[in-house]
Amino acid sequence: MAQEGIRPLTDGVSLTLTIAPRSGRDEVAGRNAGAIKIRIRAAPVEGRANESLLEFLAKRLHVPRSSLSITSGATGRRKVVRVRGISADVTEQRLFAGD
């Protein structure tokens, strides 16, 4: 079953995200308008927020950082991130664990 903001691919998933940089902490903040809202502490300067986002997702999803890539929206708040080697159900479970 496809979850809002998570699209299954043949080799992983595609995540539609809305990013809130300069937040108090790194966290999954729910869903909003067809996307998963993520708060990141880093400022959107010189790619720091993007790198922090990918590191946060890798840790949260228990996948290597090299399995993640931003496929669109690198300079905006709305992004699409591809994650290889994980299913949509496992992604849903790990992103929203404890929330």
Residue 38 lies in a domain: yes
Residue 49's φ and ψ, nearest 5 degrees, are -65, -40
What is the average pLDDT across 55-73? 97
What is the pLDDT confidence band of residue 9, given thresholds at 50, 70 and 90?
Answer: very high
The domain total for the chain is 1
What is the average pLDDT across 75-97? 95
Q: pTM for the whole thing?
A: 0.93
Q: CA–CA separation, 11 vs 95, rounded Å?
A: 18
For residue 52, CA distances in Å to 8, 30, 89 come to 23, 18, 24
Residue 14 lies in a domain: yes
- State the residue range of the domain holding 23: 6-95
Dihedral sign from CA coordinates of 5, 39, 57, 70: positive
Residue 34 lies in a domain: yes
What is the average pLDDT across 58-62? 96
pLDDT of res. 1: 39
Residue 1 lies in a domain: no
CATH code, 65: 3.30.1200.10
